[in-house]
Chain A
Amino acid sequence: MQTIWIIAKRELATFFDSLIAYIILGLFLGFSGFFTWLYGNDIFLVGQANLRVFFSIASWSLFFFIPAITMKMLAEERKTGTLELLLTKSVSDRQLILGKFLGSVLLVCIALLATLPYVITISNIGNLDNGGTICGYFGLLLMSITYTAIGIFASSITTNQIVAFMTALFIGLFFHIIFGVLAQNFTGSIGQIFDALNLQSHFESISRGVIDSKDLVYFLSITVLGLYLGEWSLSKRHFS
């Protein structure tokens, strides 16, 4: 556990040393802030004191920003050879993957914490639905760990950061949109399977304030699968 924390801490420190963190935080807050408060279907038109608009916009911005956070995680280590350095210290493949995962999730958590002023603003305007807000953040967190795990896997299969970014987006796209579209076009059991795979519907049911074990299992199983595949892809070096 300590090893995982040491790796995660270094990841975070590197983020904040290298400006990447500030750029990503700035873009995330700018993007979701603009669409929440200023443009289009904004939060004042709803006529209710809740953050639904923000949650749905944040789910889109996280969809793009998480692959940007995870893309260098293992791809760069592999490219520069530091992967060899890490894995010949007393660090197992699993600890490395979990450390990288934890580091990225912590950065996303910092981004989410930075949106707390939104909550404070809305609660000053009207009677904020506390349960719904907490569930909304919880849903964003679950979605983030899922996309982070996918991003870590995408980063583990290549030495090129751009390839890692595009792969993560491509896989994410299925969960974010394509399964949903397919679910609408198919009927019967096939349609139900696609609907069960659709991340949006699970996310919406949580952010509506209903925490169902079905949704938790959905997010956690994709996360575990992503991390497991990442570990498997690292361990392939033993058998080449």
Chain B
Amino acid sequence: MDIQIEKLTKTYGPQTAVNDISFDVKTGEVLGFLGPNGAGKSTTMKMITGYIGIEKGDIHIGSKSIIDPSNDLKKHIGYLPENNPLYLDMPVIDYLEFCGSLQGIDKSNINKRVREMVGICGLNREKHKKIGELSKGYRQRVGLAQAMIHDPEILVLDEPTTGLDPNQIIEIRKLIRDLGKEKTVILSTHILPEVEATCDRILIINRGKIVANGTPETLRKQAQGNEVLKLRIEDGEADVILKSLKELDSVQSVEYVQQNQNLFEVQSLAEQTSKRNIFNLCVQKKWVLTELTPLETKLEDIFRNLTIN
């Protein structure tokens, strides 16, 4: 099911939490929702899942509007809220059965679905414990299990990997990627490598407005600008090398990273690359090129540039 968000606006008193945002998410796509604290991520997710009302604009899920309650779109959505609220006094199995039956799974299927979820989320050893006795990571798994129990077509996950150990994070990311092949997934996170590892598309939102929308590659290209290379050249005098590099046609500027180790940072002119020129220069001068690393703009930098106010 596709999700279309049209001109969504929400204000809390004098504060505008979400300001006229529009975007689409298609089936088979994992959308990463990024933004600093208080940017409006959770508010948008709460509106998609129908927890809070829409002030202006509309959300269509599979061409039906969520404003009309008779469409009963909540059945198609699995939601893991922020901070993962759970009934701490319920045993894991009972809790999952409760969630499943509320989502309308019939009695004959419910045990099967609960067993599947316990398996997928790695809860087998903990399944008879009360949720309150579980560690944070296991609670997070229970939260994921309840979101997926009715096999929804849309998954909305607010920070799904907080509190998980590194192995579990890798497993959950893989799970989200697999689910994303046939479902529509929206996940919010603060962890930037996570977005690169799991998402097909990134949406960066700041102060209620969308400030970037695209695949990690396109975002990086937009923010990249000129080529930057990190070089280490041995068997030569640092200042001689610096001078020769500066004389290359394609080079805009050269700086020392560490003079005593012959480490340089070379920025090329716009739309040009200096890699071949540098190699040829080294061959000509009989220098040894021991390191040549293209420096990519990191997602962190893009994020910081777009969201620093």
User: Footprint of B on A, CB under 8 Å?
Assistant: 3, 6-7, 10, 13-14, 17-18, 80-82, 84-92, 237-240
With A14-B89, A84-B85, A88-B81 already in contact, the answer to whether A240 and B12 are too (CB < 8 A) is yes
Task: Determine whether B86 belongs to the interface, using a CB cutoff of 8 Å to chain A.
Answer: yes
Q: In the assembly, what is the distance between CA of A3 and CA of B81, in Å?
A: 21
The chain A residue with its CB closest to the CB of B87 is A82
User: Footprint of A on B, CB under 8 Å?
Assistant: 12-13, 46, 49-53, 69, 72, 74-75, 77, 79, 81, 83, 85-90, 94, 98-99, 101-104, 146
The reply to whether B102 and A88 contact each other, CB–CB distance below 8 Å, is no
Q: Can you sample 29 A-B contacts with CB below 8 Å? A: A6-B98, A6-B101, A14-B90, A17-B89, A80-B88, A82-B86, A84-B46, A84-B51, A85-B86, A85-B146, A88-B49, A88-B74, A88-B77, A89-B74, A89-B103, A90-B72, A90-B75, A90-B102, A90-B104, A91-B74, A91-B102, A92-B69, A237-B51, A237-B52, A237-B53, A238-B53, A240-B12, A240-B13, A240-B52
Q: In the assembly, what is the distance between CA of A72 and CA of B206, in Å?
A: 37
Q: What residues of chain A lie closer than 8 Å to B103, measured between beta carbons?
A: 89-90
With A82-B85, A84-B81 already in contact, the answer to whether A3 and B51 are too (CB < 8 A) is no
Q: In the assembly, what is the distance between CA of A7 and CA of B103, in Å?
A: 12
Q: In the assembly, what is the distance between CA of A17 and CA of B81, in Å?
A: 26
Q: What residues of chain B lie closer than 8 Å to A238, measured between beta carbons?
A: 52-53
A161 to chain B, nearest CB (A): 15
The chain B residue with its CB closest to the CB of A235 is B53
Task: A82-B85, A88-B77, A88-B79 are known; give 11 further A-B pairs, CB within 8 A.
Answer: A17-B90, A80-B85, A80-B88, A84-B46, A85-B85, A88-B50, A88-B51, A90-B72, A91-B102, A92-B69, A237-B51
The reply to whether B81 and A85 contact each other, CB–CB distance below 8 Å, is yes
Q: What residues of chain A lie closer than 8 Å to B51, measured between beta carbons?
A: 84, 87-88, 237
Q: What residues of chain B lie closer than 8 Å to A89, measured between beta carbons?
A: 74, 99, 102-103
Q: What residues of chain A lie closer than 8 Å to B146, measured between beta carbons?
A: 85
Q: Is the interface of A mostly helix, strand, loop or mixed?
A: helix
Q: In the assembly, what is the distance between CA of A13 and CA of B91, in Å?
A: 11
Q: In the assembly, what is the distance between CA of A237 and CA of B46, in Å?
A: 11
The reply to whether B89 and A81 contact each other, CB–CB distance below 8 Å, is no
Q: What residues of chain B lie closer than 8 Å to A84, measured between beta carbons?
A: 46, 51, 81, 85
Could you say which of A7, A81, A91 contacts B85, with CB atoms under 8 Å apart?
A81
The reply to whether B102 and A3 contact each other, CB–CB distance below 8 Å, is yes
Q: What residues of chain A lie closer than 8 Å to B99, measured between beta carbons?
A: 89
With A90-B74, A92-B69 already in contact, the answer to whether A6 and B102 are too (CB < 8 A) is yes
B47 to chain A, nearest CB (A): 10
Q: What residues of chain B lie closer than 8 Å to A7, measured between beta carbons?
A: 102
Q: What residues of chain B lie closer than 8 Å to A17, measured between beta carbons?
A: 89-90
A5 to chain B, nearest CB (A): 10
Q: What residues of chain A lie closer than 8 Å to B13, measured between beta carbons?
A: 240
The chain A residue with its CB closest to the CB of B81 is A84
B119 to chain A, nearest CB (A): 22
Interface hub of B69, B99, B102 (most chain A Cβ within 10 A):
B102
Q: What residues of chain B lie closer than 8 Å to A91, measured between beta carbons?
A: 74, 102
Q: What residues of chain B lie closer than 8 Å to A88, measured between beta carbons?
A: 49-51, 74, 77, 79, 81
Interface hub of A3, A7, A88, A90 (most chain B Cβ within 10 A):
A88
Q: In the assembly, what is the distance between CA of A218 and CA of B146, in Å?
A: 42
Interface hub of A7, A17, A85 (most chain B Cβ within 10 A):
A85
Q: In the assembly, what is the distance between CA of A90 and CA of B50, in Å?
A: 10
The reply to whether A18 and B85 contact each other, CB–CB distance below 8 Å, is no
A71 to chain B, nearest CB (A): 16
Q: What residues of chain B lie closer than 8 Å to A87, measured between beta carbons?
A: 50-51
Q: In the assembly, what is the distance between CA of A7 and CA of B98, in Å?
A: 8
The reply to whether B53 and A239 contact each other, CB–CB distance below 8 Å, is yes
**6 smallest beta-carbon distances between A and B, as pairs:** A238-B53, A81-B85, A88-B49, A90-B74, A82-B85, A89-B102
A16 to chain B, nearest CB (A): 11
Q: In the assembly, what is the distance between CA of A84 and CA of B52, in Å?
A: 9
The reply to whether A81 and B12 contact each other, CB–CB distance below 8 Å, is no
A82 to chain B, nearest CB (A): 5
Q: What residues of chain B lie closer than 8 Å to A85, measured between beta carbons?
A: 79, 81, 85-86, 146
B58 to chain A, nearest CB (A): 15
B163 to chain A, nearest CB (A): 15
Q: What residues of chain A lie closer than 8 Å to B94, measured between beta carbons?
A: 13
The reply to whether B69 and A18 contact each other, CB–CB distance below 8 Å, is no
A186 to chain B, nearest CB (A): 43
Q: In the assembly, what is the distance between CA of A180 and CA of B89, in Å?
A: 42
Q: In the assembly, what is the distance between CA of A89 and CA of B88, in Å?
A: 18
B70 to chain A, nearest CB (A): 11
With A88-B74, A90-B75 already in contact, the answer to whether A81 and B102 are too (CB < 8 A) is no
The chain A residue with its CB closest to the CB of B95 is A10
Q: In the assembly, what is the distance between CA of A168 and CA of B5, in Å?
A: 42
Q: In the assembly, what is the distance between CA of A181 and CA of B128, in Å?
A: 54
